[in-house]
Homo-oligomer: A and B are copies of this chain.
Amino acid sequence: MTDTAANGTAANGTATAGTATAGMPAIRSRMSPNLELNQLVEQRRAAGEPLVHLGFGESRLPPFAPLVERVAAGARQTAYGPVAGDLVVRSAGAGYFTRRRLPTEPDQVVVAPGSKPLLMALDLVVPGDVLLPRPAWNTYAPQAALAGKRALAVEIPEECGGVPDPGALRERIRAARAAGHDPRILVLTLPDNPTGTLAPPRLVRELCAIAEQEDLLIVSDEIYRDVMHDPATPYLSPAEVAPRRTVVTSGLSKSLAVGGWRIGIARFPDGPWGEAIRAGVLSAASEIWSTLARPMQEAAAYAFAEPPEIRERLAASARLHGTVAREVHRICVAAGARCRPPVGAFYVYPDFEPLREELAAKQSVTDSPSLARSLLDRFGVVVLGGHLLGDDEGALRFKAATSMLYGATAEEQQQSLDAEDPLALPHVRAPLDRIEEGLMGILG
């Protein structure tokens, strides 16, 4: 694994002391930066600092009672069970995908404690290196490194993130092969974390054509699919275009605000190759996590069946996420940043390049670490610097997660969810004003 540790994506720490460590090599020890930042914020808040936390993609909404009841009802299920998940949850998952123009049998579905372990298992069992958009969610590259793979990042197009620019992708594959690397897996995020944008159908088709030509497996991370702000936005999954070579991953953490429950799902391609990949993932699953905890399977079976109250909850949540993300986008643009308008998820990804000279002159802000640090130290606004997502450290970009601006209590969060105009609620307006103050004031 030495090779991958050298490619900049593996996170290594060194620790040696005393005789017990003599001769022991360094241990990998860099925590996923968003989770690390979240822990730091919790500590500083506990110490009394009133931070505005835009550094963690948690949908902070109150527990949805019918879902909570299902976990309680499932708590009497204590036995192991099939690695892939019970038939009832796999059937519900198959229905979920089928309703999204992806006809699916229960045998194509696997549930797991989050989509992370499913993505990790794919890296462990499918040979070859991984092509990623740049920037991308901060877990893809470290997972590739843990699996002994190279993570090959490719710039995103002007119009949207979550996918590589097609021309740049072709060039990167060519160059990687010339260098003896073996790009085999293409990760797409639809809609995207961190940009909050969605690749349009034309672009999805073009990338699927490249995957066919270059014999790539597509891993389509669709965990924010039910957080599209406008249900009328055209959504094309790569699994519709390249059904034999696309694995879709998703989960309930984002759409139903249950990140702490760790419920993920994957849909594997129909046909022998899809079956082989699914068998491989189940093999890894059986050795790494056995199965999704049964009480969580009960909740997942209920949610993926999408009864009316779940559909309403999904719609209300997506509406709120969209309203607040668009407001943060407006603030970023008003402050002078370039920023793609968000259409899904709960992120914006502004670029302060237009203000580079002023930022350098007045604040000594010259790159994404110093930009993020300045926002934190001067305004108490926590963001995730673009460099932590594989982007150029020299660029003036950051990810702002807007999903924790709905109030400090379950009551406030419920009001935000129910409000006609959540932006008018004082507990929503206050952190937005703090953000506005920070971004407008960063030159002051």
Contact = CB atoms under 8 A, between A and B. Distances in A.
Interface of A: 1, 11, 13-18, 20-25, 27-32, 35-36, 38-39, 42, 56, 58, 60, 63, 68-69, 71-72, 75-83, 113-114, 116-117, 120, 124-128, 139, 142-143, 146, 148, 184, 215, 217, 244-245, 257-262, 269, 271-273, 275-277, 279-280, 282-284, 286-296
Contacts of A76: 63, 68
B124 A287 contact: no
B280 A27 contact: yes
A269 B20 CA distance: 11
Contact of A16 (B16, B120, B272): B272
B244 A20 contact: yes
A172 to B, nearest CB: 19
Contacts of A284: 28, 146
A27 B279 contact: yes
Contact of A279 (B15, B39, B288): B15
Contact of A80 (B17, B58, B79): B58
A295 B261 contact: yes
B22 A280 contact: no
Nearest to A252: B78
B17 A273 contact: yes
A294 B260 contact: yes
B31 A279 contact: yes
A283 B215 contact: no
A287 B146 contact: yes
10 contacts: A20-B271, A21-B272, A25-B127, A32-B287, A36-B286, A63-B78, A79-B259, A81-B260, A116-B290, A146-B288
Contact of A295 (B71, B127, B146): B71
A124 B75 CA distance: 32
Contacts of A83: 31-32, 35, 39
Contacts of A117: 117, 288-289
B260 A77 contact: yes
A262 B289 contact: yes
Contact of A113 (B124, B244, B289): B289
B15 A78 contact: no
Contacts of A113: 113, 262, 289, 293
A82 B290 CA distance: 22
Contacts of A60: 79
Nearest to A82: B39
Contact of A260 (B58, B146, B293): B293
Contacts of A75: 63, 68-69, 71-72, 75, 295
A163 B323 CA distance: 60
Contacts of A291: 260, 262
A29 B68 contact: no
Contacts of A124: 28, 146
Given A56-B80, A116-B290, A261-B294, 14 more contacts: A13-B283, A15-B275, A20-B271, A20-B273, A21-B273, A28-B280, A29-B125, A39-B82, A63-B78, A78-B261, A81-B260, A288-B288, A293-B293, A293-B296
Most chain B beta carbons < 10 A, residue from A14, A68, A286 = A286
B260 A27 contact: no
